[in-house]
Structure 1
């Protein structure tokens, strides 16, 4: 009896062992999610490609696994693959015949691996992919020589990502086989030279050179390029080739966070729409043309490339043609530079300009009329400058019918055009924080000088929704100051002792109210049923007002 019982137990264990063995021999099935012809097998601790998946798979994702070598037999079962992703696998090499039955493969993601270890064998494997269009080799510790080897004969490539490697110097041989290339990402390498590197890529439209060590771009002649990002380098000079009469297709140029001293020498003919120049050392030098004030000054500037990779550059400091074609410009970002003024006719040359961002410069005056801003202007940010006066005639204010966002904060403004804000029908947001401006009191006549005023009148500006008057040294706000307004945002913080209670009662549309550091001791919040955020720090409140608690 005991023997028979043991026999039955052994049979049960044997049956259970058969089941467990069957499951453990193909553990990959449980971690792969099948969606039509896509298998998602990410984060599965896999050391090889799963077997027995559908034969007609077109996409296989194997990201975040432990595949160190892509062996010859791994993909034999999936001849229909078009997309293969192996990012984050510690992959060191791909064996020669891995893709022998993957002739349809078009997209291959090998990002964040260790392909620098076996790049030569991997290169031979890549050459067997006749339809490969997209290749991601980012963050693989690849240097110039390794990249040159890996890219040999990849003539069908259209998209290539080489970001996050250790590329230093590129030349005319680096991408010489990539005649179909349309997009190239080279950001976050250690590149200091790119002489002639893209001359063999006539179809290249998008080029990312950000976060490298480039010192200059003085022979820009890529007429087919649409987007160029060369931000976060050490570029002191950008100049396009001035002897080309072709129209450049360039639409977006990003040179922000560099060391530019001069406004870039743009192409003579282009479709440039977006120009990003923030955080450089740009200023204009037109005033140096008057040698009577600076008799010993020069009329030209020369840039010497000390590494002798290209010729020297000489340019007239105040020659208007050095700005190139900016007639299509819609966005100009000059934040964080040293601009003191705009050259004569500079703004006028941008008839469709919609956004001008001039925060943190050295502007001392701004005359909207003489600069002749276009009616397309949608956003004007001249905050954190040295402005003490804004000037404009009635005609110019009427022309600025599209102006929606106006930021004049952190200046020294004392005079503004009479009716500035009421004359702008689309105005939704105004920031005058940290200026010495105040409200016009009803019992006082406005102090005017040459159509300018020292106080502000906000009544009945129907379009206005956001008003920022932080730190304006306000003392009294008239009870009728906000009559006819439908404000959603009002910022009055950092105005110690300001009297506001009566003036705010009519603003039942307020959603955000700032009253921090205004020394209020009590306040009735019962009028603000739409309030979503409130700043009341730095005051003398001994307790939260009951009217506020009722809103919670």
Structure 2
């Protein structure tokens, strides 16, 4: 109905107008002061990235209803004492990227006039410890504070002594190396970001109210919570990524921890060193001192694996890039609701799914890039793992796996077995050894599986019915030189969306049956031309790197360009004088030629050029070619005519020639 539409448009216009009157944007306006002609009822004013170096007294007196004010990136040196007079409703103030380290004392007097201030951003202001503590005096209503990218070195009890309502604090990218009671006066703090500092350790952790702690990218060697506290810690997320931890963190004995990120440390387990009878000279405990020389009340029993604390509610454990070579007895069993275990790039040699008692809640298991040569699992164990969906076993030393490892996991959707010496069984029933393991896998009729990666498994041939009864959408078979695959993939023609055949030495392959294929990798195959069967597909990603393509016919490029989104072309000996296809892809804005600046071509002299900057003038066009032929035709004729004329003159008119030379060259002098 036109009338209803008109009413709706009118309401929308009124709503947008109301929003515009409440919010005023004056960013990047080269302003040197706060504009005075704005409506007095605005509630938010943004003055970011101007040239307001000083905020004079009463400069905001005309805007008493302001709730949000942003002055980031102005080069502000100070706020005069009465800058915020009459701003009783202001709740959010952004002063980031300024120079408030110069006039920090007077700025504090201005901030104290804001009784409802809840959020304050002081990031990137070159603030030192004492400056920050002065700036924050008496800001008792503050709930959110950003002090990132400053010059803080040390936190103590005076740093945040008046911030009793503080809930979230961002201190990342400072130079903090010590915390001595710095958070004892913030009993309501729930989210703390200490990332990218220089903390050597976090001991005596007793912030029971904290929910999220990010201490990643420091130099932390020890994380220890106070073990004598009977209160339950509210900590749910602990991030200690990229530190120098040697031991698994000593967590609280009562906690609600759900997410624990420990990747890229030096963690390993030392249960084998707990017996002092075998190692009588080992130190069994350690005490900690702060920089004042006081002894901490935290003492760690180094080899006692029971001091890890409460991890019964843990759902995500990230231990990537450590030195773990085994799990202590019962370690996995203490995490009954674990859903994601990420263990890639460690030193595991054996994965014992039976002994470790992996929970039925496990959803993702990544043990890639370890040293696994054995997987142990019985029928009962595999039945328990009914929720396992993603399994990554790539980059290990596996030569045999349990016979029914994959077929007994009903929810399995993704398996990566790349770079192991595991084949594909010829028959539906693999030949099992005495320990019920096999050197090949039966993939037939795994109906839940959608993604399968078998890169670098030394496969030479795939049985014709290897993938029968499957509904794979992603199949990766690259790095299997000499692999013969065409017949075995026909059963996947209706479902396959990504196919990886890089470095398989394929030369002729009919891709036309795979009508749902939108991603194809045929790199490193020495292909001299593009397979014509690709033109029948709606490919979005095509990898043609490191082949022997000299050109791509313009007709093929024109067919592929409308659907392509990502195209890899580097490492081919393209002909610089046949670049129509390149210009076609370049002018198609939806095609991303990855590493375009590295695509090379050869000119007629076999010299290498960057195709992106090569000019076709070096090759010449048709008009230039025709002119060249004319020149080559007429120059010899002209030279012949001149030669005949000279001979004729010397022979039949020698006197005329002498007179002409004398007349031109021997002119009389003036004396």
Q: What TM-score do you get using the length of structure 2 for normalisation?
A: 0.76
Matches within 5 A, 1:535-546: 535-546=521-532
Residue 185 of structure 1 contacts residue 209 of structure 1 at CA under 8 Å; is this kept in 2?
Answer: yes
Residue 430 of structure 2 contacts residue 438 of structure 2 at CA under 8 Å; is this kept in 1?
Answer: no
Alpha-carbon distance, 1:321 to partner: 2.7
Alpha-carbon distance, 1:300 to partner: 1.2
Counterpart residue number, 1:206: 191
After superposition, the Cα gap between the structure-2 partners of 1:239 and 1:310, relative to the gap in structure 1 and judged at 3 Å, is farther
Which one of 212, 220, 226 corresponds to residue 205 of structure 2? 220
Q: Deviations over 1:476-501 (max 9, x none)?
A: 11111111111111111111111111
Counterpart residue number, 2:48: 63
Alpha-carbon distance, 1:297 to partner: 5.0
Residue 271 of structure 2 contacts residue 305 of structure 2 at CA under 8 Å; is this kept in 1?
Answer: no
Provide the secondary structure at the position in 2 that maps to 1:356. Answer: strand
Whose relative contact order is higher, 1 or 2, with alpha carbons under 8 Å and at least 6 apart? 1
Alpha-carbon distance, 1:314 to partner: 3.9
Counterpart residue number, 2:654: none
Is 2:227 the partner of 1:242?
A: yes
Is 2:390 the partner of 1:396?
A: no
Provide the secondary structure at the position in 2 that maps to 1:337. Answer: coil
Structure 1: distance between partners of 2:230 and 2:201 = 22
Counterpart residue number, 1:513: 499
Counterpart residue number, 2:264: 279
Residue 398 of structure 2 contacts residue 421 of structure 2 at CA under 8 Å; is this kept in 1?
Answer: yes
Residue 288 of structure 1 contacts residue 297 of structure 1 at CA under 8 Å; is this kept in 2?
Answer: no
Counterpart residue number, 1:104: 89
Which one of 323, 331, 337 corresponds to residue 316 of structure 2? 331
Counterpart residue number, 1:28: none
Counterpart residue number, 2:510: 524
Alpha-carbon distance, 1:398 to partner: 0.9
Is 2:178 the partner of 1:175?
A: no
Divergent runs of 4+, >4 A: 303-306
Structure 1: distance between partners of 2:407 and 2:283 = 45
Matches within 5 A, 1:58-137: 58-137=43-122
Q: Deviations over 1:312-366 (max 9, x none)?
A: 6543334233110000000000001100100000000000000000010000001
Residue 33 of structure 1 contacts residue 41 of structure 1 at CA under 8 Å; is this kept in 2?
Answer: no
Residue 286 of structure 1 contacts residue 317 of structure 1 at CA under 8 Å; is this kept in 2?
Answer: no
Alpha-carbon distance, 1:447 to partner: 3.7
After superposition, the Cα gap between the structure-2 partners of 1:390 and 1:34, relative to the gap in structure 1 and judged at 3 Å, is same
After superposition, the Cα gap between the structure-2 partners of 1:267 and 1:309, relative to the gap in structure 1 and judged at 3 Å, is farther
Alpha-carbon distance, 1:311 to partner: 2.7
Q: Deviations over 1:436-476 (max 9, x none)?
A: 11101129852433121111111111111111111111111
Provide the secondary structure at the position in 2 that maps to 1:146. Answer: helix
Residue 430 of structure 2 contacts residue 441 of structure 2 at CA under 8 Å; is this kept in 1?
Answer: no
Structure 2: distance between partners of 1:304 and 1:55 = 58
Provide the secondary structure at the position in 1 that maps to 2:466. Answer: coil
Matches within 5 A, 1:460-471: 460-471=445-456
Provide the secondary structure at the position in 2 that maps to 1:166. Answer: coil
Structure 2: distance between partners of 1:548 and 1:520 = 14
After superposition, the Cα gap between the structure-2 partners of 1:89 and 1:232, relative to the gap in structure 1 and judged at 3 Å, is same
Counterpart residue number, 1:20: none
Structure 2: distance between partners of 1:445 and 1:60 = 72
Q: Deviations over 1:110-144 (max 9, x none)?
A: 01111111111111100111110100000000000
Q: What TM-score do you get using the length of structure 1 for normalisation?
A: 0.91
Residue 300 of structure 1 contacts residue 314 of structure 1 at CA under 8 Å; is this kept in 2?
Answer: no
Structure 2: distance between partners of 1:106 and 1:439 = 65
Consecutive unaligned residues of structure 2, counting only runs of 5 or more, are 1-16, 538-559, 561-671
Counterpart residue number, 2:421: 436
Consecutive unaligned residues of structure 1, counting only runs of 5 or more, are 1-31
Comparing 37-46 with 364-373, greater Cα deviation is found at 37-46
Is 2:440 the partner of 1:473?
A: no
Counterpart residue number, 1:456: 441
Provide the secondary structure at the position in 2 that maps to 1:505. Answer: helix
Matches within 5 A, 1:374-393: 374-393=359-378
Q: Calculate the aligned-residue CA RMSD, in Å.
A: 1.7
Provide the secondary structure at the position in 2 that maps to 1:35. Answer: helix
Is 2:286 the partner of 1:320?
A: no
Provide the secondary structure at the position in 1 that maps to 2:230. Answer: coil
After superposition, the Cα gap between the structure-2 partners of 1:77 and 1:445, relative to the gap in structure 1 and judged at 3 Å, is closer
Residue 171 of structure 2 contacts residue 194 of structure 2 at CA under 8 Å; is this kept in 1?
Answer: yes
Counterpart residue number, 2:591: none
After superposition, the Cα gap between the structure-2 partners of 1:114 and 1:438, relative to the gap in structure 1 and judged at 3 Å, is same
After superposition, the Cα gap between the structure-2 partners of 1:309 and 1:291, relative to the gap in structure 1 and judged at 3 Å, is closer
Matches within 5 A, 1:161-172: 161-172=146-157
Counterpart residue number, 1:311: 295
Counterpart residue number, 1:8: none
